[in-house]
């Protein structure tokens, strides 16, 4: 088993339960516009939202374009509403930041890593204000030696430049650094691009339809103890 010193974690849907936070935020936002959040409406938005973020990951959209168009285009196309894009996403992110539910096993694993002297870092494509508040409110900040956010760095996962920046800042090596996340296209592919070993966190035992091959695959966070 390789020796790892530096552990890089994705945040949303790896440590922080983004689904729970999203559900709460969407209910508040749609209520503001007097739109019932039905199961079909939520599913339509989620599919649209994932596609927009994947376009950002592929560098087809800049951060400013994502912020300007994410909600403005959605409400115009699906609900025939003209809403101010920046103001709406600011409101949504405020609602999102107020939720900090953890993925099961998060605190157990973080305590284990702390007790075993691993250096733990967050590497996220999320918004700084949102992630900072959620990490603080969830009392996870104490476990991290550093937080790396694409909005601040100027590169997003899966770009190799994002990971090169992180490795330089933590004085890490490719051979002793492990990337852990739930997204094949962002976390695992990003780790591969940077020549890091990777862990695909796959709690729902999804089929991997891609050619992206993680070094390890786990279905519960506590399974990390068998790797580290």
Is 10 noted as a catalytic residue in this protein?
yes
Q: Which residue is listed with tokens 């096993």?
A: 105
Distance between CA atoms of residues 48 and 54, nearest Å: 10
Under 8 Å between Cβ of 186 and 57: yes
Under 8 Å between Cβ of 222 and 207: no
Under 8 Å between Cβ of 127 and 151: yes
H or E stretch at 73:
helix 63-79
Residue 154, phi then psi, degrees to nearest 5: 100, -5
Which of 10, 13, 182, 187 is the catalytic position? 10
Q: What is the dihedral of CA 41, 44, 50, 55, to 10 degrees?
A: -130
Tokens of 101: 């539910």
Tokens of 15: 């440590």
Under 8 Å between Cβ of 35 and 41: yes
Under 8 Å between Cβ of 197 and 191: yes
Distance between CA atoms of residues 122 and 107, nearest Å: 14
- The residues annotated with a catalytic role in the active site are 10
């Amino acid at each position: 088993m390789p020796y790892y010193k530096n552990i890089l974690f994705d945040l949303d849907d790896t440590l922080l339960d983004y689904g729970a936070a999203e559900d709460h935020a969407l209910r508040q936002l749609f209520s503001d516009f007097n739109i019932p959040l039905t199961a079909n409406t939520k599913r339509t938005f989620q599919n649209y939202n994932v596609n927009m973020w994947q376009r950002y990951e592929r560098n087809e959209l800049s951060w400013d374009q994502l912020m300007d168009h994410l909600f403005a285009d959605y409400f115009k196309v699906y609900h025939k509403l003209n809403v101010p894009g920046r103001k709406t996403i600011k409101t949504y992110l405020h609602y999102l930041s107020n939720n900090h539910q953890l993925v099961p096993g998060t605190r157990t694993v973080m305590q284990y890593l702390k007790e075993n002297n691993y250096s733990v870092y967050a590497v996220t494509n999320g918004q700084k204000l949102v992630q900072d508040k959620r990490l603080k409110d969830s009392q996870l900040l104490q476990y991290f030696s550093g937080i790396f956010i694409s909005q601040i760095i100027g590169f997003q996962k899966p770009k190799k430049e994002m990971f090169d920046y992180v490795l330089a800042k933590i004085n890490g090596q490719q051979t002793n650094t492990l990337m852990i996340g739930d997204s094949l296209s962002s976390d695992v592919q990003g780790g591969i691009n940077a020549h890091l070993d990777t862990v695909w966190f796959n709690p729902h035992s999804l089929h991997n339809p891609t050619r992206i091959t993680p070094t390890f695959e786990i279905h519960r966070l506590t399974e990390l103890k068998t790797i580290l």
